[in-house]
Amino acid sequence: MHSSYQYKDGEFHIGDVSIAKIAESVGTPCYIYSYEFLKDSFLSYKEAFSDMDTLICYSVKANSNLAILKSFSDLGSGFDIVSGGELLRIKRAGGDPGKVVFSGVGKTREEMKAAVEAGILFFNVESEEELNVLNSVGTELGKKAPVALRVNPDIDPKTHPYISTGFKKSKFGIEIGRAFEVYKEANTMEGVSVIAIDAHIGSQIFDLTPFVDSVRKLIKLADDLVSEGMDIQYIDIGGGLGISYKKEEKPPHPKMYADSIMKEFSGKPYKLVLEPGRSLIGNAGMLVTKVLYLKEGTAKKFVIVDAAMNDLIRPAFYESYHEILTVRQDSKGSEVVDVVGPICESGDFLAQDRELPVVKSGDLLALLSAGAYGFVMSSNYNTRPRVAEVLVKGSEFSVVRERETYEELLSLERIPEFI
Ligand code: LLP
């Protein structure tokens, strides 16, 4: 746990702020983020890569709240985006579009146009057809859209299959064996300018070898392209460094990651772009929920809480583990329980067969490591309003997204006259 998380007089705090106080004022469930934690995470990356010309582009999909984006922007971060909506968020948060890279296999013409007009750093183009469309958008606008091709280095990142992206069989990127030809084609196009190479091999990766293998392939390709007369300035190695969800998980520190990457770049003219998401914000956030009921089945004991799979889908979707702490340390003993939400699905669990301190109705629980892919993957399933988000800095806290209301949920729906 980060030094800003601690129990004071038996009450869980972030810095000086009591989680119970926030829950009382904002209600539950709610996501709570620590500014100090995200800042330290960003600065440890920055420091680790300080020996090289590096642009850290925080991956917006991990947590796209405007206050989080503004915090990273003020720390000097660029951004990795995957949609026109995320581009708008960067603008609203006061981010610099000149430090934005745009990834994703399905960019639309409109999204491309908006990004060219905003003056982003480069597009990570994921297919030849996309390249043709981008060329036509650039030509129409009388501009050259800056591009990297996202190449698929065919590397096994040894992580969950849903978040492995660098295999030959995955939908992402252009096979590295074909990339040279596609680059040559791109280099003749009027509406694009080739300036970079990109890859992203997956997420929640602990082993540095796949990163190094990928970087080697990218540098080799960049050297070949430069010999062909192309002006490759940036190598974007994507995101993916894992975080610790369980105490015993020990991901590499950004310093170890940086050292192994920078070694490969020694003597090379390229600038480095990184797209970390989870490792910048994952452990900076938690989901706080209240115990509603206890229910004893013949085979299991259930702790029914007010948060559900619609609020945090990771356990149901990836069978992922989130450590759970009681907000108040007053329990006598522990027991093995399932922590489940109110949704009508057996998959609606937040933890299964988990040893937890004995709790009672009304107690607060904190699900840790929920800052990344938590709120952003939440939904309104079962007509449940998405929860409030809160940012804590020093002794202050503020709601950075209001809890949705039922009226807001229904406001976009219409009953047509023909029924
Ligand atoms: N760049 C690209 C092109 C990506 O697709 C991703 C994540 C990142 C960067 C950031 O990766 P990170 O540093 O956060 O590992 N919802 C899943 C994770 C999906 C990751 C998708 N891409 C989860 O909850 O584990």
With a threshold of 0.85, does the pTM exceed it? Answer: yes
Residues lower than pLDDT 70 in the chain? 1, 163-164, 166-169
**Separation of alpha carbons 171 and 333, rounded Å:** 49
Using N-to-C axis directions, what is the helix angle for 128-141 and 176-186, rounded to 10°? 20
Phi–psi pair at 62, nearest 5 degrees = -65, -40
Q: Does domain 5-33+282-410 have CATH number 2.40.37.10?
A: yes
Residue ID of nearest Cα to ligand 1 atom 23: 373
**Nearest atom of ligand 1 to the alpha carbon of 279:** 13
Residues forming the active site? 344
Report how far ligand 1's centroid is from the alpha carbon of 239 (Å): 7
Residue 369 CA to residue 32 CA, distance in Å, equals: 11
Testing ligand 1's pocket by substitution, the residue of 59, 160, 214, 274 carrying the most ligand atoms inside 8 A of its CB is 59
Which one of 3.20.20.10, 3.30.420.40, 3.40.50.10700, 3.40.50.1220 gives the CATH number of domain 104-274? 3.20.20.10
Which residues make beta-bridge pairs with 175?
A: 152
Mutate to test the pocket of ligand 1, among 55, 160, 275 (most ligand atoms within 8 A of CB): 275
Q: What is the residue with the minimal CA distance to atom 6 of ligand 1?
A: 239
Choose which residue among 38, 61, 101, 211 to substitute to test ligand 1 binding: the one with the highest number of ligand atoms within 8 A of its C-beta.
61
**CA 331 to ligand 1 center in whole angstroms:** 37
Cα–ligand 1 centroid distance for 168 (angstroms): 18
In the chain, where the domains are located: 5-33+282-410, 104-274
Query: Which residues have CB under 6 Å of ligand 1?
Result: 59, 62, 80, 103, 163, 200, 203-204, 238-240, 275-279, 314, 318, 372-373
Which residues neighbour 313 within 8 Å (Cβ) at sequence distance 6 or greater? Answer: 377, 378, 379
For the stretch 108-123, pLDDT in tens is 999 999 999 999 999 9
**Which residue's CA is the nearest one to ligand 1's atom 7?**
203
pLDDT of residue 153: 93
**pLDDT number for residue 166:** 65
Q: How many angstroms is it from 202 CA to the middle of ligand 1?
A: 7
Q: Looking at ligand 1, which atom is closest to the CA of residue 103? A: 3
